[in-house]
Amino acid sequence: MEVIQLILDGEAKEDDLAYFKNNISCCDKSMEHYKFEQEVRKNIKEKLAQICPPDNLDDCIREKINAMCQDPNC
């Protein structure tokens, strides 16, 4: 599962890719996990593309981060 996450995130190294290619061809369970994760990510991207964030979202986030950083307990 960890290797699948790395591959889908585009963070897999050569040995991860080799392991995946070798394992995916003979393991139906790995293929199911891969397809499931791929579909979940696709659906999330599609849903997020339909959401229009408010124009001032970046300003609100910056303000909250700045306020947190000024907190002496931070």
Q: Give the residue among 26, 3, 29 at the shortest CA–CA distance from 15.
A: 3
- Burial pattern 38-52, b for ≥16 Cβ within 10 A else e, equals eeeeeeeeeeeeeee
Where do the structural domains in the chain lie, given as residue ranges?
A: 2-70
pLDDT, tens digit, for every residue of 11-26?
999 999 999 888 888 8
What is the dihedral sign for C-alpha 8, 44, 57, 61? Answer: negative
pLDDT, tens digit, for every residue of 25-67?
888 888 898 999 999 999 999 988 888 888 899 999 999 999 8
pLDDT for 11: 92
Q: Mean of the pLDDT values across residues 65-74?
A: 79
Instruction: Identify the residue whose tokens are 């991860």.
Output: 16
Distance between start and end Cα atoms, the chain: 35
